[in-house]
Amino acid sequence: MTDLDELLTAADTEPPAVTAGKADMPAPRRRRWGVVVLSLLAIAALGICGWVLAVILTTGSPPKAVEEFVGTASTEVRKAATTVTGGTPTVTLGGVGGQAQLDVCDGKFIEMDAYRVQADLPPTFSAHNGCGGDTVLMVPVGGVIDVVGRDGVTRTFTVTEERRLNKDTTTTADVAGMTGEHILQTCFWDDATMRFISLAPAAV
């Protein structure tokens, strides 16, 4: 056999399978998209805070448009974080009161005494949007929300109805006819519009 024949024969011969090296190859790393998204949201939140601080230092106080923008952005960040983690928006119910109790801003929704005059209206709970009330803005009709009752028990509800009403002209008559076990209310960040949502126990 000539040298040329030997080279051609060697070329046609399949190389032996190499298996030892394959076990040593690192498996592809799975991307943890949840962590990545949450990190990006945190960076965005820090950027917003820095921008607001710059505006305050320059002007002495945040303009109304800035407050609305930042408030809306913060709610969207919370909503996105809840979606990424697969969690359920949660609110906690507090006692009965009025504006003074509402302004305590302790993270609980206050059952507004002013709405108890409407006999056919379910208990109506309110919270300022900057005190946890913006959770009401995160849940669409048909969505679910966890409610921690006064007894400390968490129950899941479905949003069955919403009404968007003018903050300055709304009366209890404007929410008459809303049904459910509870009604939650807060203001949009424009500080001119209120959102009321009806809650019914979620199907098991």
Task: Please write the tens of the pLDDT for every residue from 149-201.
Answer: 999 999 999 999 999 999 999 999 999 999 999 999 999 999 899 999 999 99
Helix (H) or strand (E) holding 20: helix 20-24
Q: What is the pLDDT of residues 47-64, one digit of tens each?
A: 555 555 555 555 555 567
Q: Please give the span between the terminal C-alpha atoms of the chain, in angstroms, as a whole number.
A: 82
Which 8-state DSSP code applies to residue 118?
S
CA 127/CA 183 separation, integer angstroms: 12
Give the CA distances from residue 94 to residues 2, 12, 60, 108, 111, in Å, rounded to whole numbers and listed in that order. Answer: 96, 82, 35, 5, 7
Model confidence at 140: pLDDT above 70: yes
